Amino acid sequence: MHRLTKTVLSLLAILSIALGATACSSTSAPSSRAKENSARSSNYDKLVASQPAHDVKYSPTRETKNFWIDTWGQTPGKLAYVYVQNANGEYGYFVLKGLPVTYCVSLLPPETKARLDLGQYEGETIVQGPSMDGTYSSQTNCNSFYGKDATTGAYVEFSIGQNQSYFLYDQPLDLPQFKDAKPLGPSTVDSAKNANR
């Protein structure tokens, strides 16, 4: 019995040494992916060392973002002048209270967490959440915009694309291309001015 135990222990020791050697040899040669990741990291480190990111003393992007906030985020009902150009180069316009909004904008986050039944286990996943109207949006109406007419409060909707584009201003502009622009909604530039005095 004692001799059998020694033999079994010796065989186990030899087997573990062999497996250890195999494991060492298989992990000692890095995979192609590991080599490329190492090369990428090394290259990035060299580039950062020779060309570090500069300090920014002034951010024009933040300045313009603040200008947008100052323009649209301070006065309720501020008028937006939306000039729409069609495929023939002709202009029309809407005067809206506030900015036009695309159908892609939502008041709620578009995703929500949901429990997931994995059989024996449970988990969570991220799924599309319903909108406030109880429907689900496919995010495919991003070229459709809507807003509130400046003088009547009427709902206004328009689409962009298919050779149609729009230009948005916070005041009416006396530009040559807009001189023949026709109102596309109930409000005109003059009626909007008079209504907001």
pLDDT tens-place string over residues 55-75: 999 999 999 999 999 999 999
Q: What percent of the chain has pLDDT over 70?
A: 84
What is the structure's pLDDT at 104?
Answer: 85
Q: What percent of the chain has pLDDT over 90?
A: 50
Sequence-distant (6+) residues with CB within 8 A of 51 are none
- pLDDT above 80: residue 23: no
DSSP the chain: -HHHHHHHHHHHHHHHHHHHHHHHHHHHS--HHHHHHHHHHHHHHHHHHHSPPPPPS--HHHHHHHHHHHHHSSSTT-EEEEEEE-TTS-EEEEEEEEEEEETT--SS-SEEEEEEEETTEEEEEEEEPP-TTS----S--TTEEEEEETTT--EEEEE--SS-EEEEESS----GGGTT-EESSS--HHHHHHHT-
24 versus 153: the higher-pLDDT residue is 153
Residue 121 bridge partners (DSSP)? 118
Average pLDDT, the chain: 85
Q: What gap in Å lies between CA 169 and CA 9, rounded to an integer?
A: 86
190 versus 114: the higher-pLDDT residue is 190
What is the structure's pLDDT at 21?
Answer: 53
What is the structure's pLDDT at 73?
Answer: 93
pTM score: 0.67
pLDDT tens sequence across 7-18: 656 656 666 665
93 versus 129: the higher-pLDDT residue is 93
pLDDT tens sequence across 138-195: 666 789 999 999 999 999 999 998 889 999 999 998 899 898 999 999 999 999 988 8
